[in-house]
Amino acid sequence: MTLIVNTIFLSLAFCQLTFAGTNPDKTKASIRQDTSKPILYLDTDRIPKFKGGTAALKKYIQKNLKWPNEGIDYEGTIIASLVVEKNGKISNVFIVQSACPPCEREAKKFVLNMPDWTPGTVNNHAVRTLIYLPLEFKLVE
């Protein structure tokens, strides 16, 4: 039993000496930000906006979103993720939810051809912002 207690005591004493000998100023870790990769925001002070607002966006979608040429009977919503760049241009378009591959192609083409948006801002500086855009495909009789 005394052997176990002595072993524990010596181990603790050794740890104490090891930590006492370190200089906290010299052991600080430095954090370096990797500036080679652009930052992408999900939460901004001001969200990106389609020029003219939500009503103009709905009108633009209704007027310009084309039905695929293939004879399909799909009705539903496709959700596209996209990045609104600092200059308002659209990039990195991905379809994140869909049940209609021909509609996906049309939706992606539609989003990539949209006019520039007003970019999102953080601390009054334009930033790259990730947003999700639902696009509804409806059969019209």
Report yes or no on 19 lying in a domain. Answer: no
Classify residue 16 as exposed, middle or buried by CB count within 10 Å of its CB (0-12, 13-18, 19+): exposed
Report yes or no on 20 lying in a domain. Answer: no
List the domain range (segments joined by +) for residue 87.
Answer: 39-137
Report yes or no on 79 lying in a domain. Answer: yes
Q: What is the pLDDT of residue 29?
A: 47
Tell me the H-state helices in 1-141. 2-20, 53-64, 101-112
- Count of domains forming the chain: 1
pTM score: 0.69
Report yes or no on 32 lying in a domain. Answer: no
For the record, the structure tokens of 65 come out as 């979103």
The string of pLDDT tens digits covering residues 1-47 is 554 544 444 454 444 544 455 555 544 444 455 455 577 888 889 99
**CATH code where residue 104 lies:** 3.30.1150
Phi-psi category of residue 52: left, alpha or beta, with phi > 0 → left and psi -120 to 50 → alpha: left
